[in-house]
Amino acid sequence: MGPVLAGVLQLLALMGALALAYIPLGNYMAKVYSSDKHWRVEKWIYRSIGAHPDTEMRWPAYLRGILAFSVVGVLFLYLLQRLQGVLPGSLGFDSVSPAQSFNTAVSFVTNTNWQSYYGEQTMGHVVQTAGLAVQNFVSAAVGIAVAVALVRGFARSRTGELGNFWSDLVRGVTRILLPGAFVAAVVLVACGALQNFSGIHEVGQFMGGSQQWNGGAVASTEAVKELGTNGGGYFNANSAHPFENPTPFTNLFEIFLLLVIPFSLTRTFGVMVGSVRQGYAILATMATIWVGFVALMMWTEFAHHGPAFEIAGGAMEGKEARFGVGASSIFAVSTTLTSTGAVNSFHSSFTGLGGGITLLGMQLGEIAPGGTGSGLYGMLIMATIAVFIAGLMVGRTPEYLGKKIGTREIKLAACYILITPALVLVLTAVSMALPTPPNSMLNSGAHGFSEVLYAFTSAANNNGSAFAGLNANTDWYNTMTGLAMLLGRFLPMVFVLALAGSLAEQKPVPATAGTLRTEKPLFTGVLVGAILIITGLTYFPALALGPLAEGLAS
């Protein structure tokens, strides 16, 4: 079997598995967020934190809950790292420096999981499990909660109430992420992933000598990092490490985990707004972009010129030999089109155009299918803009799901799509213009620029992957990427929740002969075009200076 055919078959198998999970998981999540019953363990949690889960919240109260919870999370994780040296299970590692503690705390609370450190050489068992792993669950649940709040904004009328944040948060963890991660961890352990709390020990090498390895709760961390589209890794090699990703089957299984909730949330959306066909339209948009990007990535990596590439069956530099070009291409596209950031190969070693595809995937806003929750609300924002553009073409007030898209709504949607590009482009320009930090860029020219652009694109979009040729463990990059992660996560949520509140207050508008049918393939085409054009106009000059220039020169 040739490598190209193997890659295509893996893609088809993955699509089949996602299709099988789509309806049951989507329906289940709709039931989770529509139920008025609380589990006993959930009631204990509410009592312990003093929450009233049946109290409906308007969007400012919902937002305050998110911000308060996230601030506490950042402070707790920061202190846990700063105190690591005196904690049990530290494996002898010192406390983490202030700048890196800030960066890591922000990274995991914002669902980014950007890591400017070697995981196996920096974090002990307590920080990994009580700190980082906990945030993998709750940060993903926050994203789903915001998406559900926006869906309620479309589904409800003549009320500004969007549900209860604390109830949505707890249910996302207890009913979706915990059970799913438990099953996934069992599968990974059965396939050879590591799961223990052993200390550091010497391991012999085939060619003589030895090296030090430490164990950890790797399989359980790996399960939730993919299922919650968190990213990062227990080890520096991430999902290329055999302790995290032992076999080609686990590689495909991990891709399935990071895609299954974002894709299935479109079904949840359709069920909650009372029209599953609307969910299929959003799903079709996401799937079209995802499949198109995978096809482009396979083409660039398989068809690269040169005798070495032809002998290897593709551009194998920086890719794990166990997985090959096909599986690495699917993983790279899936992890950058979601907010995951986990990698099974080094994106810096991809071809120039291949690296540009990973960059563009994040710059789309990670909406195809995007992160847990963030992908759905990002796509619904783009759908709102597409409806507005279509309304301008026919000269009537645009409507989406029975709600008018007026001046207030389009301003909020516009602010949402402008925040991330502003962060990415301004911080990239400043970093390239200033003489500091010294020796961070290991490459010059177009590739060096791509490394810096990739870093801030990844941080501001809450992705967390890196080009790996940039030394980001400096005070400058730890601080600036930390700020990009904070602003890139929470400022968009402000506009999403404000839009949800505005929509929920409206009374439904009956459909007429002039209403744009947003469940039809025509709207899917309009939405795909709007996404690509808006992103292209925003980022094309920067992409032309980096990956496009490198790709055309090779």
**Six-digit token pair at 158?**
């003549």
What's this model's pTM, rounded to 2 decimal places? 0.94
pLDDT tens figures, 484-497: 999 999 999 999 99
| Spatial contact of 178 and 299, defined as CB atoms under 8 Å apart | no
What is the enclosing helix (H) or strand (E) of 14?
Answer: helix 3-34
First to last CA, the chain: 29
Maximum average pLDDT range among 169-183, 470-484, 518-532, 533-547: 169-183
What is the pLDDT confidence band of residue 437, given thresholds at 50, 70 and 90? low
3-state SS, residue 167? helix
Give pLDDT, residue 109.
95
**Six-digit token pair at 361?**
């995937």
Q: Which residues contact 242 (CB under 8 A, 6 or more apart)?
A: 192, 322
Residues of 408-430 as b/e, b for ≥16 C-beta within 10 angstroms? ebbebbebbbebbbebbbebbee
Give pLDDT, residue 126.
87
Q: Which residues contact 464 (CB under 8 A, 6 or more apart)?
A: 107, 112, 113, 114, 115, 230, 231, 232, 339, 340, 341, 342, 458
pLDDT tens figures, 44-88: 999 999 999 999 999 999 999 999 999 999 999 999 999 998 888
**Six-digit token pair at 121?**
């050489």
Instruction: Say if residue 225's pLDDT is above 60.
Output: yes
Range scoring the smallest mean pLDDT among 264-268, 312-316, 515-519, 534-538: 312-316
Instruction: Say if residue 196's pLDDT is above 90.
Output: no
What is the pLDDT confidence band of residue 206, given thresholds at 50, 70 and 90? low
Beta strands (DSSP E) in 44-181 are: none
Give pLDDT, residue 379.
96
Instruction: Say if residue 180's pLDDT is above 80.
Output: yes
d(CA 292, CA 38): 42
Q: Return the CA Rg of the chain.
A: 23
**Upstream peptide bond of 547 is cis (omega within 30 degrees of 0):** no
**Six-digit token pair at 418?**
């402008």
pLDDT tens figures, 395-425: 777 889 999 998 999 999 999 999 999 999 9
